[in-house]
Structure formats: C-alpha cells, structure tokens
Amino acid sequence: MEEMEVEKEEAQNSKSDFQTQLEESLKNFDAPQSGQMVEGVVVQVTNDYVYVDIGDKSEGLIPVAEFADEELPKEGDRVQAMLTGHNSNGPVLSKKRADSKRYLKEIQQAYKDKTPVDGKIVKVVKSGYEVDLGVERLAFLPTSQASVDKVEKPEDLIGVKSKFYIERLYSESHLNPVVTRRKYLEEAINEKRDAFFASTSIGDTVKGTVKSFTSFGAFIDLGGFDGLLHINDMSWGHVARPKDFVKKGQEIELKVIRLDQEEKRINLSLKHFTEDPWVHFEEKYHVNDVVKGKVTKLTEFGAFVELEKGIEGLVHISEFSWTKKVNKPGDMVNVGDEVEAMILGYDIQAGRVSLGLKQTQANPWETIADKYPVGTKVHGKIVKITNIGAFMALEDGIDAFLHADDISWTKKVKHPGSELTVDKEIDAVVIECDPEARKIKVGIKQLTDNPWKAFAEEYKAGSTVEGEITSITDFGVFVKAPNGIEGLVNKANLSEDKDVPYEEAVAKYKPGDKINVYVVDVNTEKEKVAFSVREYKRKQQRDEISQYMDSGNNDDGAYTLGDMIKSQQND
C-alpha cells in the first residue's frame, strides 16, 4: 500500500517536471530573437539607459545616446527597437538599428512611389552636397539639383532641412542614394504660382520683396515665385537704372498689370498707383513751346530734363549750342539745374519728348554771312593747332579755320605749329563763309598781294632767273627766286649731259649757292614753278648762235660757227 502511494507521488512529480520543462520550452520559443523588432513601454529613464518593458521577465535597455534630445521618451511612452543581444542586465535593444531598418523600407517605398523624403544638407563635397536622410543614411545632392536659384556660396545651404526626391537608390548593388531638392522646390513653387493665378486679377495690389536686378528691371519674390517689375513700369518718366527706384531686399506693394498663366509670367508696376501724366500731355505742351524743367540725369549722349512728375524729355548733345562743340553734357549743365528748353517733338505712346537748349537763343549762323563776308579783315586769337591748320576765334563760339597752305605765299609750311602758337593774336582775311555748313575759312597770306601773279608776269616760261639754292633732295634741287618764289629743278634737268648721274651732278652744289635757271613752267593756281639748269645751258647756246648769226660773216674767216661750236664742246 505504501509502495503504491510512493509510485503515485513519483509519477505526479515526474509529470509536473515535464510540464514545467514544456512550459519553459514554449516560453523560450516565444521569446524574441536577436535581430527581431520589438515594441515596449518605457518604465524608467536614467542618464545612461531607457528601460523598456517588452513582455520578458526583465526590461530591455536602450542607450540614451541613441535618442536625439528632442526625441528622448518619458515613462509610459511606447518605443520600437531591435533586439541585438543579452547581457547580465537583460535584453540589449537598439533604437537606431530599428529606425534604420524601418527607414530603409520607407525610402525604398518613397523611391518606388516617387514621393519626397525628409533630409538635411550637412556637408559640401565635390560637385554637390551630402544630405542626411536620417539614422546615418547619407545621400548625394548634385549642385545643379540643390536649388531653383543660383547658389552664390555653397556653404549657405549647410544645415538646411527640406524635402528631397530620390533620383537613384542603388549603385552597383550598393545602397548609394542620389537626391534632388530642385524638383521638390519647383513643384512647391508651381503650386503657389497656380494658387496666385487662381486668386489674383489684373489691377490687384500685391506685396513682394525685391529679389534681383537686370538691365531691364527687377524680379520680385511673391512668395516663392517671381514677378517682373519692368524698368518702364517703375515710373511714368524716364528710368535709367532700376536701383534708383527699388532696393534689393525691400518689401513693396505693386499693381498686377499682366497675368499669363500659360507662359507663367506676372508683370507688376509701381507707376500704376498714380494717373498716367501722358494722358494730358497735349493739353499742356506743344511743339516749339519753350518750357522750364530740372536736369535729372546726364549721359554721354545728352541730359534728361523733368518737365513735371512722370514726364522727362531728352536734350541731345547736338541740341546744346549753336556754336560750341559739346563733348560732355556736364560741360554745359549739372544735375539739379533749372533750364529753359524748346519742345522739338514728342511720342506719347513711347513716352518720349525731344528738347533743345540752343533753340531758346538766336542762331548766330543765320547772320554770319552778313557779319563776315569774303574779303573781310579780321583779328583774333589762335585757340587750337592741328596737323593741317589752326583754329582762330572770331567771337564766342565762332571759330574760323586757317589752313597751313594759307599762311604764306612763298613758304611751304609743313606744320602750322612752326609758325603759330596757341593764344597768339593774328590778323587774317575771310576767304570762305558757309553758314549752312557752319564753316568759315581765313588766310594770312591773303593780307598781301599774290607774288605768284607778279612772278608769272615777270618770269614767263622761257625766261631765265638767278636764284639761290634752298635745299637739295633725292628728286631735285629747290631754288628761290629774288621775290621769294621757290621752284624745283627736277633731277633730270640738273645737268645738260644726260649721261651724267644725278648724284655726280648735284655734288657740285650746296644750299646757299647762286644758280642760273631756265623757267620751264609757272602754275599760279597750284603755286608751282619748274626750273631747269639744262635748258638754261641750251638757251645760252642758242643765244650765242643767234648773236653770231646776227653779227654777219667775218671777213678774215679766222673764226667760224663751227669753231665756236667746237670750242663749246671742248668746254
């Protein structure tokens, strides 16, 4: 009996051990394995660890360092983590590895669905940037895809948080994401622009910030997309520089004057806040009216004069003076000057007015022919010397031109500076007056009689004259006659013997020598005379022969014509 009870108790104990072992085995079978994702409740947070109840006998530990400051959980919060192993304190968990595994699935899905992901630009690298997509996942962002605008300083984008599209996920079977921010920004801009077109009408007033300048205006940021403030829409008057009206970064109100949704163009205006002054222009102004205005701007080609707010006219540099050659408008007027001008013409559609300053004064050239007729003797000062002549001031703004050829009848003036100096006062004679061309010519030599006429009367072609050698050149010898007229003995006419080289013939002469020459030709119009030594010698021979023939035959027959010719040949 006792043995049966013992056996029964042993059987019950054996059954109890088996059940316990089975329950332990089942429990171990259900326990999470390393690499498995788990979720639990935070039961305690210390300086080093976050303790999480994951349903096991002991809490799992997550290092505090795996949480960002703003992500550190509180007791009772639920967190997801990955079981990475066990130590003496219990299961070891990793939030980073859980986040990484989960995020990898998310970016794979985002790439597949073409949806944007969050990221932060963290570093400038060659040809672009590194972007942190979270949990130490870095992506490459090409420079061209970093912004819709040109980035002046790449470092300015460091730390920028934004949305990014994944353009490429893998490279050679390795996870190597390439992202674009530009595409996301362009979509956002298009959404904002579409909303603007849907809610805005022409004539509406909008606010914007001056973003950048071009030669034709300024671009205005209307909240992520741009509108154009054209230079012609800044003021009803003339605008030379956009920066004179708006400043970069300035917030301003503008009128919408054009909307083109198809071309995505928005035109804005400052001047449309006021009435167009050109509407009433013809009621106030007419061609040939003399008006007053203020000089607002000087350019190389003229000066702008404001007639009233929004209406400016241009005085071209050619309309400053009847008599003066104006090189710079600043030589005549300054910004801020009050001036009188005449309206020469206008174009209301183009918003232009042509003005003239000289037209408010009498034109001296209209009476210049009466004041300075040809033959008038004048006195004036040399104001400028050029290579071919000099300018002589007759009166304020009226200069006459003195050509080098009109300085002397007899002297060949190569450069006027050899005879004249600036500020030298001289007498001259008006030899040409052309009011239409605004040209007056004077001469100094015309103060005296033309010696060429006297020379031509005294020394006609065929006569001889004794002169003085003034210069010797490669092409001949210059000889001055007693009355100062200078002529040329061409090198071919220097020796009576054609076979004698010019170099040998000219070696007999030097400047200052007296020489007898034959007058070959006199041209008073061109003021040229040609001399010849050869013809002079021939003329001597002819004269001697003629004298002999006129004297009759010699009775003794001691000396004949043949003897004379033979004697000359021997000489």
- Give the position of tokens 């034109």: 363
Residue 559 has pLDDT above 70, yes or no: no
Tell me how many degrees the CA angle 190-196-201 measures, rounded to the nearest 5.
Answer: 140
- How far apart are alpha carbons 423 and 24 in whole angstroms? 126
- Give the position of tokens 């300083």: 153
User: Which tens digit of pLDDT belongs to each residue from 284-300?
Assistant: 999 999 999 999 989 99
More confident residue, 472 or 568: 472
Q: What is the pLDDT of residue 285?
A: 93
Q: Number of H helices and number of E strands within the chain?
A: 9, 30
- The confidence band for 158, taking pLDDT boundaries of 50, 70 and 90, is very high
How many CA atoms within 13 Å lie on the side-chain side of 186?
11
Beta bridge partners of 41: 53, 78
What average pLDDT score do residues 140-157 get?
Answer: 90
What average pLDDT score do residues 193-221 get?
Answer: 91
User: Which tens digit of pLDDT belongs to each residue from 507-525?
Assistant: 889 999 999 999 999 888 8
Burial class (CB within 10 angstroms; exposed 0-12, middle 13-18, buried 19+) of 258? middle
CA distances from 98 to 35, 39, 81, 90, 107 (A): 9, 10, 5, 18, 14
- How far apart are alpha carbons 219 and 556 in whole angstroms? 122
User: Which tens digit of pLDDT belongs to each residue from 209-245?
Assistant: 999 998 899 999 998 889 999 998 888 877 778 888 8
- How far apart are alpha carbons 495 and 419 in whole angstroms? 35
Per cent of the chain over pLDDT 90 is 39
User: Which tens digit of pLDDT belongs to each residue from 429-445?
Assistant: 999 999 888 899 999 98
Residue 93 has pLDDT above 90, yes or no: no
Residue 3 has pLDDT above 90, yes or no: no
Beta bridge partners of 478: 471, 488
Burial class (CB within 10 angstroms; exposed 0-12, middle 13-18, buried 19+) of 457? exposed
Tell me how many degrees the CA angle 248-249-250 measures, rounded to the nearest 5.
Answer: 90
User: Which tens digit of pLDDT belongs to each residue from 362-377?
Assistant: 888 888 888 999 999 9
